[in-house]
């Protein structure tokens, strides 16, 4: 751009006052034209981003960043045309940018992570996630913070740098979710009958999906019980009610079938002291 502006140089008049004023006026006109062109380019890019269905939160940031960069380039080119040494100016701008960057290191880190979270979308508004040490529903994603609504209706505003620096667990990324409950039955119970009764209970529930099929299996042998685990997949809208109902349904089904869930038991052996002692 600097070479392009040199085409408008006014030869043999640079040492005269009126001609210098004319040069400054022409430089101002070029700067105004540059601002108009920069705004046009930035607005064009904004329309292209909207057509590309880029995240709406990110579009103003990208548009304004491009517009600011174009203004800086135009200003440096125009000052070079007027005769201001641009090398020292660029060095000063770079030093100022470095100082500002160091002073705002935390904020810039949040901003960078905010852009990445919006671009790669590990979660969306409404998803239930574990992020930044909190578990809750995503209420908003901004360039600096992510807002979660916790289970007890508290609101957590988490810096994006903390969200991005840790593992993110998204419970809504898939369309289904698994419910699970474990129950203990007595060692004297008919194991195959117990498994069949519990499997039939799951298959009879309309909320339980057939694919993947529900599972009922022996998961361990305890001190007093045989541990049986029930697993069933459901749609997200049905998962929480199913998870809450499973313990009650399992207890009622086992009671109706006469299958005992024993209490923890211990055998106590008492030894009497001998008469000689």
- Cβ-proximal residues to 179 (8 Å cutoff; 6+ apart), any chain: 231, 232, 233, 234, 239, 242, 243, 246
* Residue with the two structure tokens 């440096």: 76
Average pLDDT over residues 160-176: 89
Q: Domain spanning 176-256 has what CATH number?
A: 3.30.70.100
- Strand, helix or coil for residue 252: helix
Q: Is domain 122-170 annotated with CATH 3.40.47.10?
A: no
pLDDT at site 14: 44
Residue 91, token pair as written in the block:
């060095």
10 confidence band (pLDDT: 50, 70, 90): very low
The string of pLDDT tens digits covering residues 27-45 is 778 778 878 887 888 788 7
Most confident range (mean pLDDT) of 83-97, 176-190, 258-272 is 176-190
Domain ranges of the chain: 2-103, 122-170, 176-256
Q: Up-side HSE of residue 76: CA atoms within 13 Å toward CB?
A: 17
Residue 80, token pair as written in the block:
């070079």
pLDDT at site 5: 47
More confident site: 158 or 105: 158
pLDDT at site 55: 63
CB 202 within 8 A of CB 214: yes
CB 228 within 8 A of CB 186: no
Query: CA angle, corner 56, sides to 51 and 60, nearest 5?
Result: 95
Eight-class DSSP state of 257: T
CB 55 within 8 A of CB 62: no
Q: What is the DSSP string of 73-101?
A: HHHHHHHHHHT--HHHHHHHHHHHHHHHH
The string of pLDDT tens digits covering residues 43-86 is 887 788 777 676 666 667 777 777 777 787 877 777 776 666 66
- The CB-based long-range contact list for 233-236 (8 Å cut-off, 24+ gap) reads 233/176, 233/177, 233/178, 233/179, 233/208, 233/209, 234/176, 234/177, 234/178, 234/179, 234/207, 234/208, 234/209, 235/175, 235/176, 235/207, 235/209, 236/172, 236/175, 236/176, 236/177
HEC states along 8-70?
CCCCCCCCCHHHHHHHHHHHHHHHHHHHHHHHHHHHHHHHHHHHCCCCCCCHHHHHHHHHHHH
More confident site: 103 or 146: 146
- The CATH number, out of the four listed (3.40.80.10, 1.10.287.1260, 1.10.1740.10, 3.30.70.580), of the domain defined by the range 2-103: 1.10.287.1260
The string of pLDDT tens digits covering residues 211-230 is 899 999 999 998 889 999 99
* Mean pLDDT lowest among 40-44, 84-88, 124-128, 160-164: 84-88
Over its C-alpha atoms, the chain yields an Rg (Å, rounded) of 35
Average pLDDT over residues 14-24: 61
């Amino acid at each position: 751009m600097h070479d392009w502006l040199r085409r408008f140089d006014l030869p043999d008049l640079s040492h005269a006052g009126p001609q210098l004023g004319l040069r400054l006026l022409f430089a101002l006109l070029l700067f105004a034209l540059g601002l108009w062109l920069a705004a046009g380019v930035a607005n064009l890019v904004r329309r292209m981003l909207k057509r590309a269905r880029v995240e709406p939160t990110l579009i103003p940031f990208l548009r304004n960043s491009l517009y600011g960069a174009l203004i800086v380039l135009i200003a440096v080119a125009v000052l070079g045309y007027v005769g201001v040494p641009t090398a020292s100016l660029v060095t000063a701008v770079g030093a100022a940018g470095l100082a500002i960057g160091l002073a705002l290191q935390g904020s810039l880190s949040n901003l960078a992570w905010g852009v990445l979270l919006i671009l790669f979308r590990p979660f969306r508004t409404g998803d239930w996630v574990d992020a930044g040490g909190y578990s809750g529903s995503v209420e908003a994603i901004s360039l600096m913070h992510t807002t979660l609504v916790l289970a007890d209706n508290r609101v957590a505003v988490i810096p994006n740098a903390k969200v991005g620096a840790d593992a993110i667990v998204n419970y809504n990324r898939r369309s289904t979710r698994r419910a699970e409950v474990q129950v203990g039955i007595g060692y004297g119970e008919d194991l195959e009958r117990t498994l069949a009764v519990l499997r039939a209970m799951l298959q009879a529930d309309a909320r339980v999906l057939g694919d993947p099929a529900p599972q009922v299996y022996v998961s361990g042998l305890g001190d007093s019980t045989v541990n049986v685990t029930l697993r069933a997949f459901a749609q997200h809208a049905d998962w929480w009610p199913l998870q809450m109902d499973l313990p009650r349904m399992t207890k009622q089904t086992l009671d109706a079938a006469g299958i005992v869930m024993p209490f923890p038991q211990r055998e106590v052996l008492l030894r009497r002291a001998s008469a000689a002692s």
